[in-house]
Amino acid sequence: MTRMPGNCLTTAMGIMPHENMEEALQVSLSVDIAFWPQLPRYSFFEDMYVQVSENFPGIQLDLENRKIALDTASFYQQLPDYAMHSEDENTFKLSGQYAVALDSFLQKDLSKYELIRGQSIGPISYGLKIADENLRPIIYNDDLRLFLFDFIARKVNRQYQQLQEVHPRSFVWVDEPGLQFLFGSFTGYSSERAHRDFQAFLDMLDGPRSVHLCGNPDWSFLLSGLDLDILSVDIFGNGHIFTRYVDEIKAFLKRGAIISWGIVPTLTEELDTAGVRYLTAKLEEYWRYLDSRGVDMEMILDRAWLAPARCCLINTDGTKTVEEAFRSLDKISALLRQKYNL
């Protein structure tokens, strides 16, 4: 894979609080690495778990109550029909009903961007979230687990192909918020098994190996042994923990991988009290800590992207705080690029 540019380019999470698609696209196109937005307030089909479920055998959508589940009997009944269509790439293409902004994004002139991006929920999070008729997460069912890893890989690859058709440097990052739950004693799906399964999943992907999450897992899981190309982290909330993995971060960056530092909060109360100067200094403090322990600052900057810390749908001001977070992100990037001559 061609080495990706770093130097504090900006991007952001896919989930946006907007109900107007064009307004959401305007914001998503304002960053250096443009992306198509997911709009769960616009439609339940835009929920990231629902979105990837299109054509998944056995999936039951309750639109009135906004719930999603899997019926095991229906899964096996629908499997032969799925198999007949599994070589048709349109089986794995996100339709306009499930991704209202994707086609519009692809029709934009994206030539000015160095990279563009899509996103999809990852198989571990999907398998832990979606339950069967017995309220048992489907990741505990061996047949379903094998199927869902393959299915989501095909979904990611089809989206990647669509992005490649309009831009030669594109990628899809896999959103895995469920990873943080693997390391609690209550889960019946071990982190060791998950690591093997996730490695096999990444091996199926055509494009750059990219993972985004706003949770706080055992970071060794992602930094070591998976050969990721991009890791997107909520640094505002978890930077004090993440940066303690000094050796793993150093090795990750030395082989050319990118860390997307999610430094700008999107919750109103947090953004109101954390200005651009404060957030810039907070990020630099983490970088200086790593630099003091042998992770060269020049390498950190060369392999750094910047982003909001996480998506946010709960602010009472609608889209105002999130859009302000994007503006703050741009200012922080400009300050750092000027200071370090990037």
- What residue ranges do the domains of the chain occupy? 9-339
Measured CA to CA, the distance from residue 229 to residue 223 in angstroms comes to 10
Q: What is the pLDDT of residue 214?
A: 87
Measured CA to CA, the distance from residue 129 to residue 138 in angstroms comes to 8
pTM for the structure as a whole: 0.95
Q: List alpha helices for 86-141, DSSP H.
A: 102-107, 123-129
Q: Which residues contact 253 (CB under 8 A, 6 or more apart)?
A: 259, 295, 299, 300, 303
Residue 4, pLDDT > 80, answer yes
Place of tokens 């002139």: 109
Residue 7, pLDDT > 60, answer yes
Measured CA to CA, the distance from residue 41 to residue 43 in angstroms comes to 6
In contact, 118 and 160? CB cutoff 8 Å = yes
H or E element: which one contains 155?
Answer: helix 142-166
In contact, 128 and 139? CB cutoff 8 Å = yes
Range with lowest mean pLDDT among 178-182, 287-291, 334-338? 178-182
Residue range 77-84: average pLDDT? 96
Measured CA to CA, the distance from residue 54 to residue 51 in angstroms comes to 6
Q: What is the pLDDT of residue 100?
A: 96
Position 281, amino acid? A
Structural tokens at position 291: 């630099």
Q: Is 2 exposed, middle or buried (0-12, 13-18, 19+ CB in 10 A)?
A: exposed
From residue 288, how far is each of 23, 330, 334 by CA, in Å? Answer: 37, 21, 19
Structural tokens at position 256: 């050319």
Q: What is the pLDDT of residue 46?
A: 96
Q: Is 188 exposed, middle or buried (0-12, 13-18, 19+ CB in 10 A)?
A: exposed
In contact, 303 and 254? CB cutoff 8 Å = no
Q: What is the pLDDT of residue 146?
A: 95
Measured CA to CA, the distance from residue 295 to residue 249 in angstroms comes to 8
Range with lowest mean pLDDT among 36-50, 91-105, 186-200, 288-302? 186-200
211-250 pLDDT per residue, tens = 999 888 889 999 998 999 999 999 999 999 999 999 999 9
Q: What is the pLDDT of residue 185?
A: 52
Measured CA to CA, the distance from residue 171 to residue 306 in angstroms comes to 16
DSSP string, 199-257: HHHHHH-SS--EEEESS---THHHHSSS--SEEEEEHHHHHHHHTT-HHHHHHHHHTT-
Q: What is the pLDDT of residue 181?
A: 79
Enumerate the β-bridge partners of residue 307: 262
146-201 pLDDT per residue, tens = 999 999 999 999 999 999 999 999 999 999 998 887 766 556 778 888 899 999 99
Measured CA to CA, the distance from residue 55 to residue 152 in angstroms comes to 11
Structural tokens at position 81: 């029909």
Residue range 73-94: average pLDDT? 95
3-class DSSP state of 180: helix
3-class DSSP state of 341: coil
125-149 pLDDT per residue, tens = 999 999 999 999 999 999 999 999 9
Could you list the beta-strand ranges (E) of 90-200: 115-121, 170-175
Residue 112, pLDDT > 90, answer yes
The CATH number of the structural domain formed by 9-339 is 3.20.20
Place of tokens 């004090």: 240
Residue range 105-114: average pLDDT? 97
Q: What is the pLDDT of residue 191?
A: 81
